[in-house]
Amino acid sequence: MNSSKIKEQGGKAIFAGTAGICILAVIAIFVFIILQSIPALSKIGFTDFLFGTKWNPDANDIYANDLVGKYGILNMIVGTVFSTIGALAVGGTLGYFTAVYLAFFCKGKLKKIINTMVNLLAGIPSVIYGFFAIKAVMKLFNWMSPTGNATGLFMTSLILGIMILPTVTSLTKTSLEAVPKSYYEGALALGATHEHAVFKTMVPAAKSGIKAALILGIGRALGETMAVVMVAGNSPQIPDGLFESFRTLTANIVLEMSYAGEVQMGALFSTGAVLLVFVAVINILMGFVKTGGQKTKSKKSLPLWDKITSKINFGKIGKIACFVSAVFAGIFLVSLVVYILIMGLPHITGQLLFGEFEYGGEISILPSIVATLMTILLSIVIAIPLGIATAIFLNEYTKKGSRFISIIRSAVDILSGVPSIVYGLFGAITFVVLLGGSYSILAGSLTISIMLLPTVIRSTEESLKSVPDSFREGSLALGAGKLRTIFKVVLPSAMPGIIAAVILSIGRVVSESAPFMFTMGASIKPMPDGYMSSGTTLAVALYKLSSENLHTNEAYATACILIVIVLALNLLAEWVGKKLEKKLNGETNGIRTKHKRKAS
Amino acid sequence: MTVRKIFDEELSELKLQLVKMCRVTEEMMADSITALTQRDYELAQSVVYLDKKVDEYEMNIEKQCLRLLIKQQPVARDFRTVSSALKIITDVERIGDQAADISALTSSFKEEKSFDCPDLIPKMGELAIKMVKEAINSFVNENPFAADDVIKADDEMDDMFDEFKKQTVEKIKQNSQCADTAILFMMIAKYLERIGDHAVNICEWTKYNESGVHVKV
Amino acid sequence: MEYGQNISVKQADLYYGDFHALKNINIEIPAKKITAFIGPSGCGKSTLLKCFNRMNDLVEGCKITGEFKIGEVDIYKTNDVNALRKNVGMVFQKPNPFPMSVYDNIAYGPRTFGIKKRAQLDEIVERSLKQAAMWDELKDRLNKSALGLSGGQQQRLCIARALSISPKIILMDEPTSALDPISTGKIEELCGELKEQATIVIVTHNMQQATRISDKTGFFLLGDLVEFGDTDQIFTNPKNEKTENYITGRFG
Of C247, C251, C252, the CB nearest to B75: C247
Across the interface, do C98 and A475 touch by the CB < 8 Å criterion?
A: yes
Q: How confident is the model at residue A592 (pLDDT cuts 50, 70, 90)?
A: very low
Residues A305-333: what's their mean pLDDT? 75
**Owning domain of residue B53:** 5-211
Q: How confident is the model at residue B2 (pLDDT cuts 50, 70, 90)?
A: low
* Domain-located, residue B216: no
- Is A588 strand, coil or helix? coil
Domain count, chain B: 1
Q: How confident is the model at residue B207 (pLDDT cuts 50, 70, 90)?
A: very high
Give the separation between CA A516 and CA A540, rounded to whole angstroms. 7
Chain C residues whose beta carbon lies within 8 Å of the beta carbon of residue A584: 99, 147
pLDDT at A587: 42
Is the minimum CB–CB distance between B10 and chain C shorter than 8 Å?
A: no
Give the chains touching C; criterion: ≥3 Cβ pairs < 8 Å. A, B
- Is A75 strand, coil or helix? helix
Is the minimum CB–CB distance between C212 and chain A shorter than 8 Å?
A: no
Which residue in chain A has the smallest CA separation from C146?
A586
* Domain-located, residue B155: yes
* Domain-located, residue C214: yes
Give the separation between CA A417 and CA B160, rounded to whole angstroms. 105
Let me know: does A248 contact A198? Beta carbons within 8 Å: no
Q: What is the pLDDT of residues A355-397, one digit of tens each?
A: 777 776 677 888 999 999 999 999 999 999 999 999 999 998 8
Chain C residues whose beta carbon lies within 8 Å of the beta carbon of residue A599: 95, 149-151, 154, 178
Q: How far is C138 from chain B (nearest CA, A)?
A: 36
CB pairs under 8 A between B and C: 38
List b or e across C113-148, with b for residues whose CB sees 16 or more CB atoms inside 10 angstroms. Answer: eebeeeeebeebbebbbebbbbbeebeebbebbbbb
Across the interface, do A493 and C99 touch by the CB < 8 Å criterion?
A: yes
**Owning domain of residue C118:** 3-247
**Mean pLDDT in chain B?**
91
Taking Cα atoms as reference points, which of A402, A118, A68 lies closest to residue A393? A402
Give the separation between CA A597 and CA C178, rounded to whole angstroms. 11
pLDDT at A596: 35
Give the separation between CA A156 and CA A130, rounded to whole angstroms. 9
pLDDT at A585: 60
Q: A405-414, B109-118, B205-214, C183-192: lowest mean pLDDT where?
A: B109-118
Give the separation between CA A168 and CA A173, rounded to whole angstroms. 8
Residues A88-103: what's their mean pLDDT? 92
- The CATH number of the domain holding residue C228 is 3.40.50.300
Across the interface, do B76 and C236 touch by the CB < 8 Å criterion?
A: yes
| Spatial CB neighbours of B119, under 8 Å, sequence gap ≥ 6 | none
Across the interface, do C161 and A599 touch by the CB < 8 Å criterion?
A: no
- Bigger pLDDT: A311 vs B178: B178
Q: How confident is the model at residue A234 (pLDDT cuts 50, 70, 90)?
A: confident
- The CATH number of the domain holding residue B50 is 1.20.58.220
Read off the pTM. Answer: 0.79
Is the minimum CB–CB distance between C115 and chain A shorter than 8 Å?
A: no
Give the separation between CA A22 and CA A383, rounded to whole angstroms. 11
3-state secondary structure chain B: CCCCHHHHHHHHHHHHHHHHHHHHHHHHHHHHHHHHHHCCHHHHHHHHHHHHHHHHHHHHHHHHHHHHHHHHCCCHHHHHHHHHHHHHHHHHHHHHHHHHHHHHHHHCCCCCCCCCCCCHHHHHHHHHHHHHHHHHHHHHCCCHHHHHHHHHHHHHHHHHHHHHHHHHHHHHHHCHHHHHHHHHHHHHHHHHHHHHHHHHHHHHHHHHHHHCCCCCC
Of C238, C251, C252, the CB nearest to B76: C238
Chain A residues whose beta carbon lies within 8 Å of the beta carbon of residue C157: none
Which of C52, C150, C169 should we substitute to test contact with A (largest number of A Cβ atoms within 10 Å)?
C150
Across the interface, do A477 and C80 touch by the CB < 8 Å criterion?
A: no
Give the separation between CA B137 and CA B162, rounded to whole angstroms. 28
Across the interface, do A471 and C96 touch by the CB < 8 Å criterion?
A: yes
Asked whether the predicted pLDDT for residue A299 surpasses 50, the reply is: no
Q: How far is C151 from chain A (nearest CA, A)?
A: 4
Residues B93-117: what's their mean pLDDT? 86
Give the separation between CA A364 and CA A523, rounded to whole angstroms. 13
Q: How far is B67 from chain C (nearest CA, A)?
A: 17
Q: What is the pLDDT of residues C134-186, one digit of tens each?
A: 999 999 999 998 989 999 999 999 999 999 999 999 999 999 998 899 989 99
Packing angle, helices A2-44 and A441-465, rounded to 10? 130
Across the interface, do C250 and B213 touch by the CB < 8 Å criterion?
A: no
**Mean pLDDT in chain A?**
86
Of A584, A589, A599, the CB nearest to C144: A589
**Mean pLDDT in chain C?**
92
Asked whether the predicted pLDDT for residue A68 surpasses 90, the reply is: no
Is the minimum CB–CB distance between C165 and chain A shorter than 8 Å?
A: yes
Q: How far is C18 from chain B (nearest CA, A)?
A: 30
Is the minimum CB–CB distance between B77 and chain C shorter than 8 Å?
A: yes
Is the minimum CB–CB distance between C161 and chain A shorter than 8 Å?
A: yes
* Domain-located, residue B217: no
Asked whether the predicted pLDDT for residue A237 surpasses 90, the reply is: no
Domain count, chain C: 1
* Domain-located, residue B149: yes
Residues C195-212: what's their mean pLDDT? 93
Asked whether the predicted pLDDT for residue C79 surpasses 50, the reply is: yes
Q: Do chains B and C touch (3 or more CB pairs under 8 A)?
A: yes
Domains of chain A: 1-40+348-588 (1.10.3720.10), 45-344 (1.10.3720.10)
Is the minimum CB–CB distance between C180 and chain A shorter than 8 Å?
A: yes
Is the minimum CB–CB distance between C226 and chain B shorter than 8 Å?
A: no
Q: What is the pLDDT of residues A260-276, one digit of tens each?
A: 888 899 999 999 999 99
Which residues from A are below 8 Å from C when comparing CB atoms? 1, 4-5, 399-400, 468, 470-471, 473-481, 484, 488-489, 492-493, 583-593, 595-596, 598-599
pLDDT at A590: 38
Which of B4, B75, B142 should we substitute to test contact with C (largest number of C Cβ atoms within 10 Å)?
B75
Is the minimum CB–CB distance between B7 and chain C shorter than 8 Å?
A: yes
Between strands C34-38 and C216-221, the pairing is parallel
- Is C221 strand, coil or helix? strand
* Domain-located, residue C64: yes
Q: What is the pLDDT of residues B6-38, one digit of tens each?
A: 888 999 999 999 999 999 999 999 999 999 998
Of B3, B211, B213, the CB nearest to C249: B3
- The predicted complex's ipTM stands at 0.88
Which residue in chain C has the smallest CA separation from B209?
C237
Instruction: Count other Cβ atoms within 10 Å, centred on residue A172.
Output: 28
* Domain-located, residue C79: yes
Q: How far is C65 from chain A (nearest CA, A)?
A: 21
* Domain-located, residue B90: yes
Of A399, A471, A476, the CB nearest to C98: A471
* Domain-located, residue C252: no
Asked whether the predicted pLDDT for residue B150 surpasses 90, the reply is: yes
Let me know: does C183 contact C94? Beta carbons within 8 Å: no
Asked whether the predicted pLDDT for residue A292 surpasses 50, the reply is: yes
Of A1, A489, A598, the CB nearest to C180: A598
Is the minimum CB–CB distance between C246 and chain B shorter than 8 Å?
A: no
* Domain-located, residue C75: yes
